[in-house]
Amino acid sequence: MPSADDVQDALATVQDPEIHRPITELGMVKSVEILADGRVEVAVYLTVSGCPMRETIISRVETAVAALPGVTSVGVELDVMSDTQRKELASHLRGGQAEREVPFAKPGSLTRVYAVASGKGGVGKSSVTVNLAAAMVGQGLKVGVVDADIYGHSVPRMLGVEGKPTQVENMIMPPSALGVKVISIGMFTPGNAPVVWRGPMLHRALQQFLADVYWGDLDVLLLDLPPGTGDIAISVAQLVPNAEILVVTTPQQAAAEVAERAGTIAVETRQTIAGVIENMAGLPCPHCGEMVDVFGSGGGQRVADGLSAATGTKVPLLGSIPIDTRLREGGDTGRPVVVDAPDSPAAVALDAVAAKLGGRERGLSGLQLGLTPLRNF
C-alpha cells in the first residue's frame, strides 16, 4: 500500500496547467485518503469555480497517483478555493509583493524585455514577434508575449492561442500556445469587436498586462507595439524603462525613413535600441533561386546606421528575413514558420535573430546608466 507521503510526492509532480507550479506548492491539495483496497481518493481545490482546465487537472492527478505501486484506482474530487485562500495564493505568487507592481521594471529583474516597434503598419511586426517567441522557446527559453497593439491585436491568432485567461483574485493567468505565454485585449472582447479607447485607457490596459498577469519566471518578454510613436510607446517607457526597442522595417526607403523615426523615440525616453530587423528582404525565385528585391534593398542597414548616428551608439542590423508565403500562411493558421517549416530561409533567418536576442548579454539601459526616463509627456 502507498503511504500518505508517497501520494504527496506523486502529487508534487502535478503542475497546475495555468500557473505551471506544483499543486502541492499552491495549496491546491485539500485532502488525501488511502483506502484498504488500494483506492486513493484525492480532493483538489480549483482556483475558480469555472476553471477551464479542470479536466486537465483531474487527468494529471489520476496519472501521477495511479503510477504508485499498490494503487488500484484513483478518485478525484474537486472543490473551489475560498476568497481567503485565493488571496493567500495571489500573495504567494507575488512573493509577498504589493499589487500593481511591474516585476520587469524592478532593478533585480532577470527578464530581458524587448518592445517590438515599427514606424508604420504592414511591415510584418507581429509576424516577426510571434516567430521570435516560438524560436526562443525552441532554444530553451521561457517566453511571454504582450499583444500591446490594442487596436490591431493579432497575436492570439498568429500563435494559435485558443484558451482564455483565468482570474484569481486580482491576478490574471495567461493562456499559452507552443510554450509561449500570451495576453491580448482580444481575449476580453466579444468576437471581432473594435476597441475604441483613448490614451488613459490604453495605458491602464498595458499596466494590467504587465502588473496583474502572472508571468512566472520569464527569460524574455516581447511586447508587440502598435505602429508609430503614440500612447503605448510612451507608456512602455514609463512602465518598463529598461525595455529595449527592437525596430522592424522593410527594405524600401519610404518605410525605412518612418522606421528610423519610430526608433529615435529611444533618445527621448532614454531607452536602449536592441537592433533592427529587416523583413520582406527579397523574394527567392521559385524557378532559379535568384533573389528578387520586391521592396528594394538596403533599408534595414540604413535604419541601423541612422539610429546609430541619432543615439551615439552602435545599433546592429540583426537580420534580414526573406519573403516566404509560409510565413504568411503560418500567421493565418496559428503555426509560426519557425515551427512548421524550420528549414525554410525565413525560419532560419528568424531563428538566428532569436539566438542573438535570447543569448546576448543585456545592454545597459538608460535606467542603469543613471538617466531619468521622461515620465510627464
∠ CA 269-274-278, nearest 5°, is 115
Amino acid code (one letter) for 351: D
Residues 6+ apart with CB under 8 A from 16: 22, 23, 26, 28, 47, 53, 57
Is 126 within any annotated ligand binding site?
Answer: yes
Burial of 102-137, coded b for 16+ CB within 10 Å and e otherwise, reads bbbbeeebebbbbbbbbbbeebbbbbbbbbbbbbbb
118 is in an annotated binding site: no
Annotated ligand binding at 180? The verdict is no
- What H or E segment, with its residue span, contains residue 228? none
Q: Is 314 annotated as a binding residue?
A: no
C-alpha dist (Å) from residue 102 to 106, 111, 238, 339: 7, 12, 11, 31
* 121 is known to lie in a ligand binding site: yes
Q: Can you count the helices (H) and strands (E) in the chain?
A: 13, 15
Instruction: Flag whether 296 is marked binding.
Output: no
- By DSSP bridging, strand 283-284 and strand 291-292 are antiparallel
Q: Which residue has the cell 481545490?
A: 45
| C-alpha cell read off for 311 | 543615439
- Extract the annotated binding site for ATP: 119-126
Binding residues: 119-126
